[in-house]
């Protein structure tokens, strides 16, 4: 909200101050917060689905001796876990 005073000169024979609060509609904010809360959960769940699939490929690559590949994928899985932690931090901050 922006409160400030300014003088208006009207066509009638006097001047006076008006305090304009410049109210902005916050109607959509609650809906956006609700939607984002749902999306954050969905994104974290979706990431975990991918992480499970990646883990299957880690096992397959280990089975054929491609340990460098499996290690790289394991690092990606760890990063997904970190991303999910950040998404959940965002959700906690959202509902404060």
64-84 per-position pLDDT tens digit: 999 999 999 999 999 999 999
Provide the 3-class DSSP secondary structure of residue 35.
helix
Q: Residue range 23-49: average pLDDT?
A: 89
The CA distance from 70 to 62, in Å, is: 6
Phi–psi pair at 22, nearest 5 degrees: 45, 60
**Whats the size of the chain, residue-wise?**
96
Asked whether 81 and 90 are in contact (CB, 8 A), the reply is: no
53: pLDDT strictly greater than 80: yes
29 contacts: CB under 8 Å, gap ≥ 6: none
């Amino acid at each position: 909200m922006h409160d400030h005073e300014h003088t208006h000169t009207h066509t009638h024979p006097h001047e006076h101050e008006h305090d304009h609060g410049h109210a902005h509609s916050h109607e959509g904010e609650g809906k956006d917060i609700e939607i984002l809360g749902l999306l954050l959960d969905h994104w974290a769940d979706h990431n975990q689905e991918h992480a499970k699939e990646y883990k299957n490929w880690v096992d397959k690559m280990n089975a054929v001796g491609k340990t460098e590949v499996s290690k790289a994928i394991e690092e990606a899985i760890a990063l997904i876990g970190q991303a999910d932690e950040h998404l959940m931090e965002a959700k906690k901050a959202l509902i404060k």
